[in-house]
Chains A and B, each alone.
Chain A
Amino acid sequence: MEKAVSDEIIRVEDLYLNFYTYEGVVKALDGVSLDIKRGEILGVVGETGCGKSVTSLSILKIVVPPGKIEGGRIKFNVKGKTYNILEFNEPTMSRVRGRYISMVFQEPRAALNPVYSVGDQIGEVFYLHRKEEIIKAVIEQLKREIETAKGFRKRVSRLYLSLYEGMLKNPKSLRVRLASKVPIVRRFRNLMKKEVRKRTVELLRTLRIPDPERVVDMYPHELSGGMAQRCVIAMALVANPILLIADEPTTNLDVTVQAQILVLIRELQKKFGSTILYITHDLGVVAELCDRVAVMYAGNVVEIADVMTLFKEPLHPYTQGLLESIPRPGKPFTSIPGVVPSLINPPPGCRFNERCKYAMDICWKQKPPLVEADKEHYVACHLYSGGK
């Protein structure tokens, strides 16, 4: 067990989150616990409104008002140390976002700012998180130039070199800031722009975007959905994040494009060894892509297991119902009876009790804890907690 802990990148513990709306307090997350292990693809499945996206945004500490985190911890293991993300302040968090944890959104074209070209937007992330590296590359290039250049060019290169070295030492120094504003001198920044552009094109090529030199100057409305999604993924991958959160990245795409993106995600995961939190309501995608699955229902994680185990022997009645409601030819169409409870007035005890065919007295009195029913198979249901 101890070893497993060190393997975890993120461990969400007992996360409570409420939305304070005019109709009342929506208890969107009711003690969510899950862990993400290094190098895996963890799928999070559940119906719309069950708290999948809110959980993932909480990991980035992006809580949009009227939402408020009421309790819990999000432990974040990086460089051998453990931090609680919820204790980070905003400046620290903006260094974590995009650098260590980044996110791919559902609607690719809406996730790109319409007034900037794709290259500008990907480039911005380079400036935010990999500026030093780029400056160093430019310095190397300038040093090489100085060796070969003569006369005026050499002097210009020397000046540029000193400016870039100053920028590396102290980007806020008066000299650098002044030089960045004076019209002709400002052109020294073009070298950096070129380097960023080169890297952006390379990145787009890794994502198998055809003709990246052209795409880099295109605006979001000129791109197809699949291309736009690749660009959004590129934006998320700029800084080689430890954890990539993908929030239903293929939901709004054609099936063929969807398959391409899934293949791409899997390849990237193998190539960079990154960890992915994949949020979806499509069980087919989960079966295809993920290593482990967490099933969420009405703000709770009800079951976490290996993908094979979960599909073969689902334990929680909700998971069973979910799997049965996948349409298959020749099989009568089934669905879970009832509707998702209102999160303003959730039923006492287990939130699934109204719809559960095994509901017992205790299900109305006590909330079931998440217990290990089998090896590495966690479930939150009184059917299993009693036997343990």
Chain B
Amino acid sequence: MKFKVPERLQPTIREIKFILRRIKDTPLSLFGIAIVMFFVVIAAFAPLLAPPVPGLNPYLIPSDPALGFRVEPSPPSPKHPFGTTLLQRDIYYGCIWGTRWAFQVALEVIIPIVAIGVVLGLIAGYYGGVIDEILMRFTDIILAFPGLILAMCLVTVLTQANWTTIDSVLLSIVLIGWPGYTRLIRGETLRVRNEDYIEAARASGASDLRIMFRHILPNTIYSIIIVASLDFGGIVLTTAALSFLGLGAPTGWADWGRLIYDGMSFVSGGLRWWWSWVYPGVFISLFVLGWSLLGDALRDVLDPLYRRK
């Protein structure tokens, strides 16, 4: 028997078909999706791909005692496909668990950033006036500092206040990240706020909260999705940068930035110890590339200005 699609679902199905065709027609977005899927699979199956030592924190890269406690990296071998880095830590293990760590970091940062941005942006855009002025000047203050330097200061201050380095890195990226989203959503709210249907909703007795979250937010969500997916790679890059500057994850942590930092000491050897910085570098680059391509793909299908071109 042939499955018949109910009539009311037909526009939805047509829309999905359009999106799929759109993605199929642009090889770059396919490429982006493939990369992101690749990383998702790695992150999901990390315990199978690189079994952790029982009883230890899986995010700590184990050293190989068989190779002794030499400082210099050992070259790739069947046991260590990507070689080892400082203190004989397995780079392959670091890259695999680093993927999981990257997703964890990005999600732990993007969720609070978007939540803060949505709430403050809606309030600022909807009420306007003094509230808007206060919130926006506050974002100006934060945006006036170079992000990475502000994050470095915050990390330093927070670690002094007995925070763990990892928590302070995440919190400082949230603190430098929210103003951008607040402004984005405020702008979208300003655009939607004056639409007739908002006035119509108010005229039919909807409260401010209902108007903000039920009527304005769904009309701004597509830009949030696009920017968030573009930022997903960016956040990982920022944590990697902080790690690279020695402010992020502690040594031995499965963090790509930390691995590069460890490998940096060996860059001086030219290509002699290339594996110690090339592999983590490739992982970071691919991850960021994948997310920004995915962000572009999402913009192509979601943004009304681009989609019908």
Contact = CB atoms under 8 A, between A and B. Distances in A.
B197 A98 contact: no
A128 B204 contact: yes
A346 interface: no
A65 interface: yes
A376 interface: no
Contacts of B203: 60, 62, 97-98, 102-103, 105
A97 B205 contact: yes
Q: Which of A96, A102, A111, A232 has the most CB of B within 10 A?
A: A111
Most chain A CB neighbours (cut-off 10 Å) among B11, B129, B204:
B204
B225 to A, nearest CB: 14
26 contacts: A62-B202, A62-B203, A64-B194, A64-B199, A65-B128, A90-B207, A96-B205, A97-B202, A98-B204, A98-B205, A98-B206, A103-B200, A111-B199, A112-B197, A112-B200, A114-B197, A114-B219, A116-B218, A124-B201, A124-B206, A125-B205, A128-B205, A129-B205, A219-B11, A222-B11, A235-B204
B25 interface: no
A64 B205 CA distance: 16
Given A105-B196, A110-B195, A219-B11, 20 more contacts: A64-B199, A90-B207, A91-B207, A94-B205, A95-B205, A96-B205, A97-B202, A97-B205, A98-B206, A102-B204, A103-B203, A103-B204, A112-B197, A112-B200, A114-B197, A124-B214, A214-B8, A232-B200, A235-B200, A235-B204
B80 interface: no
Contacts of B214: 124
B22 interface: no
Contacts of A124: 201, 204, 206, 214
Interface residues of A, number: 37
Contact of B218 (A60, A112, A115, A235): A115
Interface in A62-89: 62, 64-65
Kindly state the interface size class of chain B when it binds its partner. Answer: 20 to 34
A103 B202 CA distance: 10
A243 B195 CA distance: 24
Contact of A94 (B7, B197, B207, B215): B207
B196 A107 contact: yes
Identify the interface centre among B197, B202, B203, B206: most chain A CB within 10 Å of its CB. B203
List 10 A-B pairs, minimum CB-CB distance, nearest first: A98-B205, A98-B204, A110-B196, A103-B203, A97-B205, A111-B200, A113-B197, A217-B8, A115-B218, A111-B196
A52 interface: no
Contacts of B194: 64
Contacts of B128: 65
Contacts of A90: 207-208
Interface in A193-223: 214, 217, 219, 222
A140 to B, nearest CB: 26
A98 B215 CA distance: 16
A99 interface: yes
